[in-house]
Each structure stands twice: as structure tokens, then as C-alpha cells.
Amino acid sequence: MLALGKLLEMTLADHEPAAKIQLTAEGARLRWLAPGALEVTPPAELDSGLDLLLSAGIHGNETAPIELLDRLLHDIARGTLKPHARLLFLFGNPEAMRRGERYIEQDINRLFNGRHEQSSGPEALRAGELERLAANFFAQAQRTRLHYDLHTAIRGSKIEQFALYPWAEGRQHSARELARLRAAGIDAVLLQSKASITFSSYTYAKLGAEAFTLELGKARPFGHNQAVNLDLLEARLRALIDGSEPAVAVGELDGLQLFAVSREVIKRSDAFRLHLPMDVENFSELAQGYLLAEDIAGTRWVVDEAGARIIFPNPKVQNGLRAAIIVVPADRQALLAQS
């Protein structure tokens, strides 16, 4: 196997390879760009026109997606997976990965779309580097751009595998991309309705990619992800890479639950209180009239939405950041009608 196929091993060892470019027997080029960053270019005659960015390890303790990307890259380096797409593999927060921690000083996934410029420290620097790497990768014109940012959650979920679909002015969510996600084993998608500061929001809004944050189960240490079944996602990624993806029909959304953001709960001060059990699962239902949270100056969040559910509840976030999202069922027919 080509040495550059051991990107994860080099990343965890904080090792920079002597050879920055290597070729597979079939002519695919592997190019080391930076710590945790590897570009794969197929031979010109095999190029499908797809630019696929696969990122994981934005949170260093979310290891199942990291192991998935490692398997794909190993097979490319061995020549058993032959790329027809341009690929960029990114391990987002190498130092947090080495320590087995979510982050070192601050959450990288709250530092994109220029937010890193208002901050300092290793995560802010890395967020800026990830933006530059993604922008350079997606700089070629007239190509299809797709980004999957792979995560696992800090808590359990009523719906184990789900996606967040970013929003940008002037763009519509794609039913075709939703059908592709469904075929990859995703059971629910949250359709966002305003700009965000996550990595997938940056590539969607600023770089014109179809981009998604994928939540793929619960975070576990390296080597302990047997309970996280990524078979359907891995099969779909392999098909995207080698050009064998079956045709995706727009109407094939059976079983895919769609949600829309109703409100974000923002933590304003240290007085913030979230009235949920610490082990509450994502997509837990909320009863109308329930007092969800309180903060300074009499700020109260009372659930008034029908069919409301909670995702990403985290009262320990820094002041000014999102402590939870209230979501409600989305209008599937409206989405299909605009596609």
C-alpha cells in the first residue's frame, strides 16, 4: 500500500511524509497538502467530473467516521478502490484526535464562515486552514461539488443517523440529494433555514457545493464502533468514488423524515438553565406548553409548536452559542414541488 494511504496513522503520529505525491498503479495521484489533508486525483480518462470532499474528526472523539475514511483511503492506496472522482480527505482537528477529545480550546464547528477571524488559538487557525483547503479544492469551474462532513453525536438519538442540510440565500434544497442520502442509510434530514457557522454551511453557502453534516450514531473511542452500522453509507461513498453509483430518483424519499428548524435556544449567560435530563436523546418529543429553558432577565423558552422535538441540547456551550434546537416536521410536498 502507498505510504500516503496511511493518512490517519500519520495524522495521529503528527508525522509529515517525505514524499508528498504518490501514484497508484492505475495512475491516480495522492497528494499530501497539510496535516490530516490528502487530495486524490483520478487519471484524466476516468474523471467523472465530481469533486467530493469527505471530512471527519472536526470533533476529535468522533471516531467511527474517521475509521470509515481511513478504510476508503487504504483501498484507494492499495488500488482496490479506483477513483473516478477528485477527492479531498480532511481530518479536521488532528490534535483533538490524538487526545481523544472533542476539542482543545473551542469547537471548530462553530468557527467557520469567517468566525475564526474573530477568535484565536489552535482551533481558530485550523478552521481558517480548512476553509482554504476546501476553497482551493472546489476552485475548478464546471464540476459537480459535494461535501459530506461526517460526525457522531455526544448523546443518543431517537433517530440514529440523520443529516443537517445547510441554507443559503438564493438556493433551494435538492430532492435528488435527499434521495441520495436516503439510499446511504440516512433516516432524517433537518432542513436549515438560516446561515450557520459550521463547516458544511461554509462549503454550501460560500463554495457552491451540495453539503451536509451527517450524524452517524454515538461517539465512541477508536476501535469501539462495532455498534455503529455505516454499511449503506460506505457502499454509497465507494460508488461515488469509483463512478458506479446507481441512478438516484428524486421521488425515492420513502421512509425519510424531514424536519425544519422552528427555533434555536441561545445561551446568553451563566444563569442559563435547560430543563431536560442530561441524558435526553436527540429527537425526543416536547409537549406543548413545556418550559424548556430559562435565562437572565426573565428569558423563557416555552414550547408552543405542535410536533416539536429537541436536537443538540447542550447547556454547557459558551455564552452566545446555541444550546439546543427545536425542530418540527417539514412540508415534504412543498420540497418536492420546488425541485
Residues catalogued as catalytic: 215
Distances in Å between the alpha carbon of 14 and those of 17, 61, 93, 225, 311? Answer: 10, 17, 12, 23, 34
Q: How far apart are CA 184 and CA 68, in angstroms?
A: 14
What letter would DSSP give residue 139? Answer: T
> Residue 268, CB half-sphere, CA atoms under 13 Å: how many?
11
Contact between 286 and 306 (Cβ < 8 Å): no
Strand partners, 150: 214
| DSSP symbol at 5 | G
Cα dist from 288 to 195, 260, 281, 331, whole Å: 27, 17, 18, 20
Pairing relation of β-strands 309-311 and 322-329? antiparallel
- At which residue does the C-alpha cell 486552514 appear? 129
On whether the CB atoms of residues 228 and 240 are closer than 8 A, the answer is no
Q: Comparing C-alpha atoms, which of 99, 119, 98, 100 is closest to residue 108?
A: 119
CA 51, CA 87: separation in Å to the nearest integer? 6
Question: Which residues make up each annotated binding site?
Answer: 59, 62, 151
With a CB cutoff of 8 Å and minimum separation 6, the contacts of 228 are 64, 152, 216, 217, 218, 220
Which residues define the annotated binding site for Zn(2+)?
A: 59, 62, 151
Q: Please tell me the distance from the alpha carbon of residue 52 to that of residue 29, in angstroms, as a whole number.
A: 15
Strand boundaries in the chain, DSSP class E: 21-23, 29-34, 37-41, 50-56, 86-91, 144-153, 161-165, 188-191, 210-218, 257-266, 273-274, 284-285, 291-294, 300-302, 309-311, 322-329
